């Protein structure tokens, strides 16, 4: 490859010198696998031929190569090219089914072809002032320099199209085989350029279940405060990917251990110092990670960010509500109320959508409601309120409540599980009889206005809420009984129905 930098050559030589024989054998096998993959990918090869005919290089790069080697390549393909964005756009005209230029300021042109989404980016040699939140884009002149500016070696490999040459100057294939995250240059240099890469390391630990090299962890720990340079939206997006990965607990531990969590989710780190109310086998931090794992095991149909986030945040109110009684037992009264407020504040700061914030916050607020059911104190009214307050979140609340049982006392765990089984059965019985999912007053707003002879206004809403409370308390009312209750309520407020 022409224009190879001395730094790239030195890095490649150093990495090759430590490559074990098993990795060398794996390298050859996986090179053939990538070539075969590309051979049966006519879209990529067609595109490569168009660029080659115009005198430009085109390479499949980054996560696309990594995922191909892992056998999990999807429908999104990332390419790097020597062509400038305007030249790329011109080459796509008449070939791509759709083209978009939203990333053109960063050298990226997007396109679709035969169900594949393609992003083609001009070689980059970015310059950062290491103060502002965005890079100053500078176009590069060769593939090796472009690969060097990538976050991790496993993402710094390339396969040329259409001729399928494999390029791995920084030992990414070895690190992929060893399931280790390293940086092409020094981690200090990489993270100074873009501090979000530290959070991305934790995300890949979750998504790919890779370990992080010791020197990378050391740099993350020393440079964690640099994450403050990054916008809340970028942090949110990386954190969401971490939470929906295969093993978010690994990523969460890395965030806490390196101090990164302190920069955007300090409530998580704060749990390490709080001993739970059982005062037996785990602190609240370890309990929380266990609840996250339990919730994942109960998921159906793929990762559920709302459930996982509620599991992560369900006890964040404990530090502020910790109290020690005369008998020395620790309590956290009303921690679910405080936790819901802290959850809302933190997720707003991270710019999550209102719907997601409300769902997670409501689950945190409701997660303790079940406790006490086993003592036989719940009336049908209490069950109705539980279902109504949970609303569409009820299936997630079931999972969260079950996940929160982490005691090692088998008898206690079995009793809690049996109690919740009984509650779910009771909910099903009431739902079958009363359609709890659609609990409404026995009289609607129009009927209230007609029966009381009042116009639309606050009084109608007050009457509606009173009737709903009765519905929750006593179940469905006969029509005449509902009218009588409405008239009774109106008389107490001096409202006289029409004759």
Q: What is the DSSP string of 389-433?
A: HHGGGHHHHHHHHHHT---S-HHHHHHHHHHHHHHHHHHHHHHHH
Radius of gyration, CA atoms only, the chain: 29
Q: Tell me, what's the pLDDT at 418?
A: 83
Average pLDDT over the chain reads: 85
What confidence score (pLDDT) does residue 435 get? 60
Q: What is the DSSP letter of 139?
A: B
Alpha carbon distance 471, 474 (integer Å): 5
pLDDT tier, 168 (very low <50, low <70, confident <90, very high otherwise): very high
User: Residue 126's pLDDT is what?
Assistant: 60
128 pLDDT exceeds 80? no
* pLDDT of 266 strictly over 90: yes
Most confidently modeled of 4-8, 105-109, 462-466?
A: 105-109
pLDDT tens digits for range 90-99 = 999 999 999 9
H/E element, 24: helix 21-39
Check residue 20 and give its pLDDT: 47
Check if the beta carbon of residue 78 is closer than 8 Å to that of residue 60: yes
H-helix or E-strand spanning residue 109: strand 108-113
Domain with CATH 3.30.460.10 in the chain: 6-185
Cis peptide before 162 (omega within 30 of 0): yes
pTM: 0.78
Q: Does residue 322 contact residue 332 with C-beta atoms inside 8 Å? A: yes
DSSP one-letter code for 333: T
Q: Output the pLDDT for position 309.
A: 98
| Residue 446, number of CB atoms within 10 A of its CB | 10
What does the pLDDT read at residue 249?
98
Residue labelled with tokens 């007609």: 450
Residue 283 has pLDDT above 60, yes or no: yes
CB 161 within 8 A of CB 44: yes
Among 117-121, 160-164, 187-191, 230-234, which stretch is predicted with the lowest mean pLDDT?
160-164
Domain 186-264 sits in CATH at: 1.10.110.30
Q: What is the CATH number of domain 6-185?
A: 3.30.460.10
Question: Of residues 475 and 442, which shows the higher confidence score?
Answer: 475
Give 488's pLDDT tier (boundaries 50, 70, 90): confident
In this predicted structure, the answer to whether residue 29 has a pLDDT above a threshold of 90 is no
- DSSP notation for 258-283: HT-HHHH-HHHHHGGG-B-TT-SS-B
Is the per-residue pLDDT at 350 higher than 70?
yes
Residue 399 burial by Cβ neighbours in a 10 Å radius (0-12, 13-18, 19+): buried
User: What pLDDT is stored for residue 11 in this prediction?
Assistant: 40
Using one digit for the tens of pLDDT, what is the confidence trace for 361-397?
Answer: 999 999 988 876 656 667 777 888 888 888 899 999 9
Asked if the model's pLDDT at residue 60 lies above 50, the reply is yes
* 319 token code pair: 């530090």
Q: Kind and range of the H or E element at 489?
A: helix 479-492
pLDDT digits (tens, 9 = 90+) for 295-304: 999 999 899 9
Rounded CA separation 117/98 (Å): 9
For residue 425, pLDDT beyond 50: yes
């Amino acid at each position: 490859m022409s224009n190879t930098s001395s730094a790239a050559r030195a890095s490649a030589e150093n990495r090759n010198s430590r490559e074990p024989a098993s990795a060398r054998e794996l390298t050859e096998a996986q090179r053939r696998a990538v070539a075969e993959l590309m051979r049966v990918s006519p879209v990529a090869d067609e595109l490569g031929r168009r660029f080659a005919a115009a005198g430009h290089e085109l390479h499949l790069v980054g996560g696309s190569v990594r995922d191909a080697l892992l056998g999990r390549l999807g429908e999104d393909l990332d390419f790097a090219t020597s062509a400038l964005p305007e030249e790329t756009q011109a080459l796509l005209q008449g070939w791509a089914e759709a083209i978009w230029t939203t990333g053109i300021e960063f050298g990226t042109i997007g396109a679709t072809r035969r169900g594949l989404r393609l992003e083609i980016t001009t070689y980059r040699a970015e310059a950062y002032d290491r103060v502002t939140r965005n890079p100053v884009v500078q176009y590069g002149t060769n593939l090796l320099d472009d690969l060097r500016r990538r976050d991790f070696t496993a993402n710094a490999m390339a396969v040329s199209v259409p001729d399928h040459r494999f390029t791995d100057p920084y030992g990414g294939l070895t690190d992929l085989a060893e399931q280790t995250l390293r940086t092409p240059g020094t981690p200090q240099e990489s993270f100074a350029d873009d501090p979000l890469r530290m959070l991305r390391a934790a995300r890949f630990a979750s998504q790919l279940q890779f370990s992080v090299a010791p020197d990378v962890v050391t740099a993350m720990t020393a440079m964690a405060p640099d994450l403050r340079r990054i916008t809340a939206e970028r942090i949110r997006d990386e954190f969401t990917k971490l939470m929906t990965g295969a093993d978010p607990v690994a990523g969460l531990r890395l965030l806490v251990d390196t101090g990164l969590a302190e920069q955007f989710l300090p409530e998580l780190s704060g749990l390490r110092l709080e001993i739970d109310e059982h005062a037996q086998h785990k602190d609240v931090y370890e309990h929380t990670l266990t609840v996250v794992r339990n919730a994942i095991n109960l998921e159906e149909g793929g990762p559920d960010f709302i459930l996982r986030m509620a599991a992560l945040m369900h006890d964040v109110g404990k530090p502020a509500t910790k109290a020690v009684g005369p008998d020395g037992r620790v309590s956290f009264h009303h921690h679910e109320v405080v936790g819901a407020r802290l959850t809302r504040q933190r997720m707003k700061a991270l710019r999550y959508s209102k719907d997601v914030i409300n769902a997670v916050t409501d689950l945190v607020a409701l997660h303790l409601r079940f406790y006490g059911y086993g003592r036989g104190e719940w009336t049908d009214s209490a069950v109705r309120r539980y279902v109504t307050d949970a609303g569409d979140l009820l299936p997630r609340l079931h999972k969260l409540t079950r996940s929160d049982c982490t005691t090692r006392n088998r008898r206690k765990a079995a009793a809690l599980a049996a109690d919740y089984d009984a509650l779910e059965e009771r909910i099903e019985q009431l739902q079958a009889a009363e359609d709890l999912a659609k609990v409404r007053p026995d009289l609607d707003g129009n009927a209230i206005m007609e029966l009381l002879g009042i116009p639309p206004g606050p009084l109608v809403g007050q009457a509606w809420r009173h009737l709903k409370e009765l519905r929750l308390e006593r179940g469905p009312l006969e029509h005449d009984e509902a009218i009588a209750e409405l008239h009774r309520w109106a008389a107490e407020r001096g409202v006289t129905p029409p004759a």
